Amino acid sequence: MNKVKARFSLLALLLPLLLNATSILRNDILNNAASQYVEQIGDELFAKTGIHGYVIATNEHFPERFNLVAYSKRYEANASKPYVMLIFAPNAIITAKSQRKGRVGIIPSSKEIASMYDRGDILDATIDVVASVDKNKVEDKHAIGIVQGFSELADQIAAAKGVTLEHTIKETRQGIWVVQVIVLIGAALVFWMFIFRPIFIRIRDGKKA
C-alpha cells in the first residue's frame, strides 16, 4: 500500500512537468525540424531565465477583431507561469473589407514580462519573413516566420535578464537562411517517408523476388 501511495505521489509531482514539457501548445504549421528548433529555444529560455516561452501556431479562421488574449486563455491549463505566448494565425482576418489575413499576438503572463521585450520588433521579425518576396512556399514562410519571431522574443527576454542564449538566431539574414534549411530538411524527410521510401521498398523487394 505504501509503495502504491508513493507511486501516486511521484506521478502527481511529475504530471505537471510532463504536461508542460513542450513549448508548442498548438501546431498546425510547423514541421518536425522547425518544431524541434522552437523546443530547443524554449528549453534554453526557461533554463536561463525561469520564464516559459510558448508558441501557438494555428490555421484557424478568426474573424476581424478576434480577441487573441481571450483565445490564449484556452491554453493556460497547459502553460506554466511566468510565461509569454507567441500566437501565429495566418488565416485570421485583419479587416473584413480588404480580406487581408494574418495576425501575430504576443501574450505575457504579467506586465513585468511585457516590459522585457519590444512588441514591434517581435512583429517585424515574424511578419517581415512572411511578407518577403522569394521562392519559398507560403507554408514554409509561415514556419520560418514563427521560428524567427520566437527566437527574437526569447533573445530580448534573455537580454532583459542579463543572459545570452546560444540556440537562437542572432542575425536576421543568417537566421532566415538557417530556418529555411530547417524547413527544407523537414520537407525532405516527409517526402522520403511518405513518397520515396515506399517506392524504394517496392523496387528493392521486386528485385529480391
24-27 β-sheet, strand order: 24-27, 52-57, 83-95, 100-108
Question: Bridge partners of 95?
Answer: 100
Q: Give the whole-angstrom CA distance, residue 177 versus residue 175.
A: 5
Residue 191, pLDDT > 50, answer yes
Look over the chain and give the mean of its residue pLDDT values, rounded to a whole number: 80
| Domain 22-208: top CATH class | alpha beta
Q: Give the whole-angstrom CA distance, residue 167 versus residue 140.
A: 21
Q: Give the whole-angstrom CA distance, residue 39 versus residue 20.
A: 12
pLDDT of residue 127: 85
pLDDT of residue 128: 75
- Of residues 162 and 10, the one with the higher pLDDT is 162
Band of residue 196 on the pLDDT scale cut at 50, 70, 90? low
Q: Model pTM greater than 0.75?
A: no
Which of 19-23, 117-121, 176-180 holds the top average pLDDT?
A: 117-121
pLDDT of residue 190: 54
At how many degrees (to 10) do helices 138-160 and 32-49 cross?
10
- Of residues 11 and 201, the one with the higher pLDDT is 201
pLDDT digits (tens, 9 = 90+) for 71-125: 999 999 999 999 999 999 999 998 888 888 899 999 999 999 999 999 999 999 8
